[in-house]
Amino acid sequence: MKHRILIILAVFTAVAFLGCKDSNGSSKQEVNFNKDASYALGLNIGSGLRDGLAADGIYPNINEFMKGMKDGIGGKKARFDLYEAMEIIETAFDAMMSERNQKLIDEEKAFLAENARKPEINITSSGLQYEILTEGNGPKPTLQDKVLIHYEGKFTNGQFFDSSFTRGFPAEFELDYIIQGWAEGLQLMPLGSKYRFYIPSDLGYGDDGIQGIIPPFSTLVFDVELLEIRK
C-alpha cells in the first residue's frame, strides 16, 4: 500500500511545481499551456493514478478530486494542509485495504473449510492440505536436499498460473529456499509420487502475494510429481 501513497505524493509534487514561487515569494512569470498541452498534463497525472490505484480497485471521487486539484493549483484556501491531506489519504487507504483483505481472508477460510471435508484430503498440523494421486515407494527428501519435479499450479477457481509441463522441462528446487507449503509437502512424498497440495496463503505468499501473479491471501493448488532427489 505504501508505494501507492508515493504515487499520490508525486501528484502533489507536480501540483506544487505548477504553482511554485521564486525565492522572494512572488509568482514566477506565468506561462500558460495551450489546450492540448493542458489536457496532456491532466491525462498524464490521471493515467499515473489509474495505473497506481486501479490494480487495488481504488478510485477517487472525480468531482472532489478535481476540486482539490483546482484549489492546489490555484493556491486557494484548502480544507486541509498537505500534511493533513496525506494523513487522510493514508487512513482511507488503510480502511479500504483492510475491508478488501477481510473479504479475501473470509473467502480463503471458506474454501479450506469446505475442501477439508473431502475424504481424500489429508491435513498437516500447519494447515497444509494434500491428497495422494500416486504413491511412490522411494525415499523422501529432506530440507537439505534438492529435488527435480514436474508441477502445475492453479488458483482455487481453476485458473492456471504456472506449469513446468508447459515449459517442457522439470524444475529443480532446494527445499530450504522455497515457500513453507512446498517444503513441507515435498518432505511427505516418497520418490515417484504425485501429490496435490492445497497451500494456504500463510504457508505461501501471505498477505502480499506476488504483484501481477499471485493475489494476496491466495490458497494455491499444485499438482507435483517427485522425479529425483539430489543430495
Asked if 199 is an active-site residue, the reply is no
Q: Is 160 one of the annotated active-site residues of the chain?
A: no
56, 71, 162, 223: which is the annotated catalytic residue?
162
Question: Catalytic: 179?
Answer: yes
Residue 146 pairs in a beta bridge with 174, 230
List the catalytic residue out of 71, 155, 161, 202. 161
Which is the catalytic residue, given 205, 214, 217, 229?
205
- 161 labelled catalytic: yes
Q: State the burial class of residue 110 (Cβ atoms within 10 Å of its Cβ: 0-12, 13-18, 19+).
A: exposed
**DSSP track, 26-69:** SBPPP----HHHHHHHHHHHHHHHHHHHGGGT----HHHHHHHH
Catalytic-role residue among 105, 179, 202, 223? 179
Residues 93, 130, 151, 197: which is the catalytic one?
151
Q: Which of 145, 197, 222, 229 is catalytic?
A: 222
12 catalytic? Reply is no
198 is annotated as an active-site residue: no
Strands 220-230 and 146-155: antiparallel
- Nearest Cα to Cα of residue 193 among 129, 125, 120, 131: 131
Catalytic residues: 151, 161-162, 179, 205, 222
